[in-house]
Amino acid sequence: MHARELVELAALAGVHGPLLIRDTPRISDSGIEQYWTASKCRLDRWGRALKQISSSEEPCPKRTIKAAGSPRAVLEEILTGEILTRVWAAVTCAHDGIHGADQVGPVARSVLIGHLEARHRVLTLLVHGPAIGAEEAVLLNHLRRRAERWTDMLIGYLLGLYDVSEFAIDPDRARDFSEDLSYQSRLPGGRHAWPLVETSLRAAFGPGLSPLSPNADLNAKIAGSVLSCFQPELFDATGVLPSAWLVRITNATNDAAGMIDELLEADRPPKHRPSAPSGFLTSADRRSRFGPAE
């Protein structure tokens, strides 16, 4: 699953998050567990990739700039992925607050803390990293600012229900968005603005991004875990949530064994690590269950 699709999922979670918050008394334990496991695994991969990028002494060749494992592709995935991480943390913490629970918010907040650490390393690379050329740094900085603005707008959808301004980049801007969205929702047709949001989002994040994502497999698992928290009846041809998303996560399995293998692998001394092909799975059977990175 490409990083831009996670941005689209972030929009879905922000716009329709109030439904989940109000109408779902308890969020699936397995869904939030898979969210944490897949996110932690992706953070570990990012950490290794950022370390390698930091140690590089010259920019990536132009012919490989948009390759899946290129520095730019990794940095794009971190910057765009932050939108979903922040929005989902806001949704889960609002859910806990409204239902008087402490179930899912701490998990999503923990993932956000790790993501913010990765973001900080990205910003350092944009300023001081020799592996990122000046032109690429400018483009990535524009992407960062675009992602920040969209984050605050999506947080604005939730502020009418619960104060989650702490998850915005700029809380004041998020509150301004919330006021505008509240006014628009009272206009004729204002409550059916999802197609416009989706179109605007695709225009903002479609062009210019690397064609492949470095962690498409984990992105799919993260998307599947988020969607599993919504009520199934919301997904149908005439329902609130687009049924197309069900197709996108068909291959996202609930089996987290492969991701756990990778987490354990990172902690083993090199001499104890089993010989295996690159990737987080150590079993051929598990490898066959996941398609190639999209």
Task: Confirm whether 281 is domain-assigned.
Answer: yes
Percentage of the chain exceeding pLDDT 70:
71
Over residues 51-65, the mean pLDDT reads 66
Q: 289: pLDDT confidence band, cut at 50, 70 and 90?
A: very low
Q: What CA–CA distance (Å, rounded) separates 119 from 221?
A: 21
Q: What is the DSSP letter of 285?
A: H
pLDDT beyond 60 at 167: yes
- Owning domain of residue 227: 3-287
Residue reference for tokens 């988020």:
226
At 235, is the secondary structure helix, strand, or coil? strand
User: E strand or H helix at 106, and its extent?
Assistant: helix 105-128
**By mean pLDDT, which of 48-57, 94-103, 224-233 is the weakest?**
224-233
Task: Confirm whether 173 is domain-assigned.
Answer: yes
Q: 94: pLDDT confidence band, cut at 50, 70 and 90?
A: very high
* pLDDT at res. 174: 96
Question: Are 228 and 11 spatial neighbours (Cβ–Cβ below 8 Å)?
Answer: no
Query: For the segment 111-124, what is each residue's pLDDT rounded down to a tens digit?
Result: 999 999 999 999 99
Query: For the segment 180-189, what is each residue's pLDDT rounded down to a tens digit?
Result: 888 777 766 6
Question: Across the strands, what pairs with 235?
Answer: 241
Task: Confirm whether 106 is domain-assigned.
Answer: yes
Q: What is the largest CA-CA distance in the chain?
A: 66
Number of separate domains in the chain: 1
Over residues 179-204, the mean pLDDT reads 75
Task: Confirm whether 70 is domain-assigned.
Answer: yes
Q: 251: pLDDT confidence band, cut at 50, 70 and 90?
A: very low
Average pLDDT along the chain: 79
Of 119 and 276, more confident: 119
* pLDDT at res. 118: 97
The b-or-e profile of 100-136 (16+ CB within 10 A means b, else e) is eeeebbebbbebbebbeebbebbbebbeebebbbeeb
pLDDT beyond 50 at 222: yes
Task: Confirm whether 294 is domain-assigned.
Answer: no
* pLDDT at res. 33: 92
CA nearest to 76, candidates 270, 259, 208, 218: 208
Over residues 73-77, the mean pLDDT reads 95
**By mean pLDDT, which of 17-26, 158-167, 217-226, 238-247 is the weakest?**
238-247
Query: For the segment 13-57, what is each residue's pLDDT rounded down to a tens digit?
Result: 998 888 888 888 888 888 899 999 999 999 999 999 999 998 876
pLDDT beyond 50 at 166: yes
pLDDT beyond 50 at 259: no
Query: For the segment 132-143, what is each residue's pLDDT rounded down to a tens digit?
Result: 888 899 999 999
Question: Are 82 and 151 spatial neighbours (Cβ–Cβ below 8 Å)?
Answer: yes
Residues whose CB falls within 8 Å of the CB of residue 264, separated by 6 or more in sequence, listed in order: none
Task: Confirm whether 214 is domain-assigned.
Answer: yes
Query: Sign (positive/negative) of CA torsion 187, 192, 195, 197?
Result: positive
Over residues 254-270, the mean pLDDT reads 48
Residue reference for tokens 């600012």:
145
Task: Confirm whether 292 is domain-assigned.
Answer: no
pLDDT beyond 50 at 110: yes
Task: Confirm whether 293 is domain-assigned.
Answer: no
